[in-house]
Structure formats: structure tokens, C-alpha cells
Amino acid sequence: MPTSPSEPPEAAQSFPYDLAVIGAGPAGLAAAVTAADLGLRCALLDGGRQSGGQYYRHPAPGLGAARPDRLHHGWSVYADLAGRLAAHERTGQVRFLGGHQVWALERTGDGLAAHVTLGPEAGDRTTVRAAAVLLATGAYERQLPFPGWTLPGVVTAGGAQAMLKAGLVLPGRRIVVAGSGPLLLAAASSLVSAGAEVPAVVEAGDYLGYARRPGVLAAVPAKLVEGAGHGGALLRHRVRLRPRSAVVEAHGTDRVTAVTVARLDADWRPVPGTGRRIACDALAVGHGLLPQIELATELGADTVTGPDGAVALRVDARLRTTVPGLWSAGEANGVGGADLAIAEGALAAHAVAGRTPEPALLRRRARRRAFAALMAAAHRPGPGWTDWLRPDTDVCRCEEVPLAAIREAVDELGAGDPRTVKLLTRAGMGWCQGRMCGPAVACLSGAGDASGHGGAGPDRRPLACPVPLSQLAAGD
């Protein structure tokens, strides 16, 4: 039930908004509508034109999708949040700013300023000022390269789902799903339900790690039901699950036509003689998700390394970061799914408003955060994945930098960290700014562990997304 509104803090009176929420996915939506329920004036910013983020991605309007809910798990939860958002928009308590991509945060006296680009065609940038900012920026997929991963038809696991949700299209008709993490089961379930043939789900881990903490599993029965639903869909369509295995090469000329799947040892090294070729016309591959935290780390926010090696923001029990006035909710604090993100969004809103949340909300967050840690540990990359690579394998696909060039930079030119490797090879200088190759480059440079983290420290950059020079030169 909504709590009765309260007066915003005195420091907020001189700002257009009491709270700016960056990201309109599950965490951001929950934060904005809860904060509005508590009487705060909110701005909700997102690079997309519609709310929902990557998780609740909408079909393109021109496609005329009559039942977008059938493409999503938990659409009714989004419908409720979107309805509450619309109600607060009508009263002026929340302003949703779609198409607003935040490229930097700046401290301004007692508050924060979010610098925003409206796209490459916009003449000027804009700035949104608020007494407090809540980051709900989500995550992006971790990619580990292998020979053939740059072939047309090879997409990320999340990318395959995005094509289906937003474009109502499949990346192919016969699709191998591979990598590691729970996203694989969800992606495969969505693809077969949409009519694709999935000959195999290739999981580098083995799910036995979940059994090490049965109490954590028992505390989140909804996750067990969700997993059983995905598993049931795969059984009905006779999809084979191959644990402790990986796609170690994709084959083809103009596009992928087959993949080689090999068994892995405990360190993720391919076991000799176990390679098997599977014909396909698409491959959906991903090795979990990485928190998107650049806006906070550029301000100097402290980070922590999770059980899967991913770097996340350090927050206290009230979800405050170490930067005054900056809160964080959802995947930026460690990947844990939509339920956790929604709980943390609501909790952070209570903290910003200076209100005490219901104990049930605190318990919900604690149970789901414990499950997130268990999930991360179960799918942590092993050090042997680098044995998949050949000297000519492109590690940075944007700049076409092969493994041989990175090895040369490290072994012969003395590079010992990702930044030096970047300067010597251009790895990470492309359009994605290292989001695709960053973990692999960090691992190969010797600065990080098998996951690409642990020794390299958080990624810091003054621009969180591409911004036209004309907008950088323009005044506020």
C-alpha cells in the first residue's frame, strides 16, 4: 500500500526535482512510482522512448503486436508499474523523459546534475538537476570470444531475446543457445515457444552449485517455479541440455552454418577428443551479465567484486553509494533479476524520502540478494576459457584486434593492464567502448582473473555513451 506523502527535504526545494531516476527498467520504474507515492517530485530518464528498459522491451509500434505480454515473463508486474507511472505523470508528480541518454553526472552544490544527450541529431545537450539521483542503469552481457564469434548469425543471448521482443523476428530457424548463466534457459524457452528449433542449450557450468545452499533456494520458491517453467518448455520441445560444455568454434563463410561443442574440465578447458559439430543457422551466446556502473565510478563511487568476478557498486543497507546524494538499485549492485531490482528500487525510494520501509520489503530484498550471490558463484567463468582461442581469433571485434596482437603487447611490449593494451592495439576503442571485449582484454592482459575482473579495478570514463562534439561544445 502507498505511504502517505511527506514533505521533501529542505535541500530539495531549490531543485526542479527531488529525485532523478536514471533507467526506466524494473528498478527505475519501482523507484520512481514509490518515490512519487511518498511525495517526491521525480524525473525518470531512459535512453529508450518507452518505459520498461531491456527487460520489458516493447515490440516496435509499427508491428501492431496485439499480445506483447506473451513475449515476457511477469508482464502483469510491468503493467501495474506502468499504470502507476501514468497516474503520477497525470498529476505532475513524475516526469518520464524517454529518449534521454545520460552521459555524465556532476555534483553541483547540494545536488547532482545529469548531463543528457537526445541523440546525434539533436542540436544541444540538456541537463536535469535534482537533489538526489538514483541509478537503475541495469547491465549488459559478458562475452568471451572464440573462433568464429564475429560471423553473421552469431548474436548474444539477450540480443536474440531483444530481436524477438522488439522486432518479432528470430535470428535464425535452427539456433544453438550457449554460454553460461540462467539467461540461457530463458532465451531458449522464448525461442522455441516462438517456433525456432533449438538443437542444444550448451552450458559451461553445471547447475550443481545451486545445491550447495538449499536454504537459499527454498527461500525463493518463485525462482524454482520460473526455472521449472523454462525447463518444462525445453522438455516439451525436446531441447537437449549439455552441461559442462561450450561452443569453442563457429563455422561458416557468409554466416554461421555450424558450431563445434566440446566438453569442459573443471577449469573450463576443452577436453581433447570431445568436440562435436552441430548444424545451425544462428548461435545465441552469452556468459552472464555485467553491472553498468560507469556514471557512478566516474564520480569516484566505491565498488565491490561479486562471486562471479563482476564489479558492482558498493551500497549500504539503505542502498546509498559512497557518493553523497547518489543511490543505486538493481543490477548495478550485482545482477539478480527483475524481482530483486523492483525490491531495491522501492527500498531506495524510501531511503531518499527518509521513510522506513515495511519489514517484508527488507526480507524480500535479502532473500533475493542471497540468491543472486549463489547464482553468480555457480556461473563464474573458469580460467581455461582462453584455451578456446587461436592467434588469429579477434578479441576486439569493433577494431578487429586478434589474440596475437594482444599477446604481443603483453609479452613483448610490456603491457600489464587493459589501458596499456588499448593504447598499443586499439582493443576497446571501437563503438562499444570495450563493453564486448573489455573482460577478455583484462583477463588476457593479466590484470584480471578469468572473468576479466578482480585486478583491473572499475572502468572509469568521462563519457558513459557516445556524444556528438557539437553537444559537448554547447552550453547548458
Residues 373-394: tens digit of each pLDDT: 999 999 999 999 999 999 999 9
By the 8 A CB rule, do 128 and 66 touch? no
Burial class (CB in 10 A: 0-12, 13-18, 19+), 24: buried
* Angstrom distance (rounded) from CA 389 to CA 177: 19
Which triple of cell numbers denotes residue 423?
593504447
Count other Cβ atoms within 10 Å, centred on residue 28: 31
pLDDT in tens, 460-470: 778 888 888 88
By the 8 A CB rule, do 85 and 33 touch? yes
Which triple of cell numbers denotes residue 143?
562475452
Q: What is the pLDDT of residue 32?
A: 98
Q: End-to-end alpha-carbon separation of the chain, Å?
A: 40
Question: What pTM does this model have?
Answer: 0.92
- Give SS3 for 83: helix
The amino acid that residue 356 corresponds to is T
Task: Show Cβ contacts of residue 16 under 8 Å, excluding neighbours closer than 6 positions.
Answer: 41, 43, 128, 129, 130
Which triple of cell numbers denotes residue 372?
543472486
Task: Show Cβ contacts of residue 222 under 8 Å, excluding neighbours closer than 6 positions.
Answer: 339
pLDDT in tens, 267-279: 999 999 999 999 9
549492485: which residue's cell? 333
Q: What is the pLDDT of residue 303?
A: 95
Average pLDDT, the chain: 90
Phi and psi angles of residue 317, each rounded to the nearest 5 degrees, phi first: -65, -20
Least trusted range by pLDDT, from 59-73, 79-93, 246-260, 313-327:
59-73
Bridge-partner residues for 313, per DSSP?
303
Q: What is the pLDDT of residue 14?
A: 57
Q: What is the pLDDT of residue 12?
A: 44
How distant, in Å, are the alpha carbons of 27, 378, 394 from that of 438? 25, 22, 13
CA-angle at 55, arms to 49 and 58, nearest 5°: 45
Q: What is the pLDDT of residue 453?
A: 55
Does residue 2 register a pLDDT over 50?
Answer: no
